[in-house]
Chain A
Amino acid sequence: MKDRPWFPVLYMFLVTAFFSSIVIGFATFTRDRIEANRQLDFEKSVLDVFGLAEGKSNAGIHEAFVGQIERDDRLGVYVLKDGGRFALPLEGKGFWAPIKGMLGVSADGVTLLGISFFEQNETPGLGGLIVTDKFRGQFAGKKLSTLERAIGIEPFGSEIGENQVHAISGATQTCVRLEKIINDGVGAWRKKVSGRKADEPE
């Protein structure tokens, strides 16, 4: 039978069918879990900018997100129910792959609470350091400038103002792109805010 011309075709067909069905089965089995992981990363990122994610279990994070966060569809931000602090979604191109994250802003719309990332693929050890507490911690307490460049990421060691943070040395590209991502996010949000003000009757 092995010598028949149709045997390789049948054999390949059977082998492929066998392995593919296992893969399909396994993918179906893990799909919900993978989707839940992705959602959890996102929820954690939102809570993180308010300092609410720390020390919480996965279930605790989901519970806190559902209970305390509300999406403002018109402004595209996630608002913390008490006090009006909100998380501004950030999204854009990083050095290798998209960077997605959240920027926490207090109710005054100027003072920053923090920053967090739920998707990034920067060089480990260089651009990847944007997720470390050392880098992210710089953002808390900074104030957005009213200029188009609301936040500046300045070279390491330079003098910085109240709307500027230090870059990661060796990760210039990531920092330049991240600065653009933040400023684009803030710009888009400001546009929506001024649009809404124009709609409201005086």
Chain B
Amino acid sequence: MSPNSNQTTLNREIVVDGLWRNNPVFRQVLGICSTLAVTNLVLNTLVMCICLTLVTALSCLTVSLLRKWTPRNIRMMVQTLIIAFYVIIVDLILKAYWPGMSRNLGPYVGLIITNCIIMGRCEAFAGSHEPLPSLMDGLFNGLGYSFLLLTISVFRELFGMGTILGWGVPYFSTYWDKWIIMVMPPGAFFTLACVIWFCRGYRQKSEGAA
């Protein structure tokens, strides 16, 4: 095998791991705190996911770039600093150029710092891998998180308000008796549990068949 094809296999593994096989939400069960808060409107979720994916990818890249110089005993401090740096930048960009969305997301953007996925990936992957694979790993873990969060938010907005991205859905916006609980925080618990249940159940079945 040439080193080039090795690289390709590694990249493919990173993509599949991040999106499905080692999905941060239903496999690693990381970062579900924010799942509860922002998933009741698809638009808010979408922006939150974009922010998180960017922060994760760039933090992983930076941690990886600095990994050879960072002393082991203070690596967590350095990681937190890097993550906080990107989050503040994202927050400032939203405040300055998209104030409406910054208002919608309220304090949640700042709380990306505490999202366990970022630190988890920095610690588990970026600290011991080359910059490019680390960037990919961060990016695809972010996308894996986004795909699950968006699934949850589609169900919550649809059942809770009868709309998707604010647009009325036929039947749901008219005859459907809206489930208010779905847009309240507890609704996220139920939806998250069902989605994790479904994904894990499906995975087991496909693994059993293979």
Which A positions have Cβ atoms within 8 angstroms of B? 2, 7-8, 11-12, 15-16, 19, 22-23, 26-27, 30, 33-34, 37-38, 41, 96-97, 119, 121, 123-126, 169-170
Contact = CB atoms under 8 A, between A and B. Distances in A.
A11 B40 contact: no
Given A2-B69, A27-B92, 9 more contacts: A11-B70, A15-B66, A30-B92, A34-B95, A37-B96, A97-B106, A121-B103, A124-B183, A169-B180
Contacts of B161: 125
A22 B92 CA distance: 12
Contacts of A33: 96-97
A33 to B, nearest CB: 4
Contacts, number: 71
Nearest to A119: B103
Interface string B82-105: 100100110011011101000110
B71 interface: yes
Given A8-B74, A23-B89, A123 B183 contact: yes
Contacts of A8: 71, 73-74
Contacts of B89: 22-23, 26
Contacts of B106: 96-97, 121
A123 B81 contact: no
User: Lowest 6 A-B CB distances belong to which pairs?
Assistant: A30-B96, A170-B180, A125-B183, A37-B99, A19-B85, A33-B96
Contacts of A22: 85, 89
B44 A124 contact: yes
Given A26-B92, A124-B40, A11 B69 contact: yes
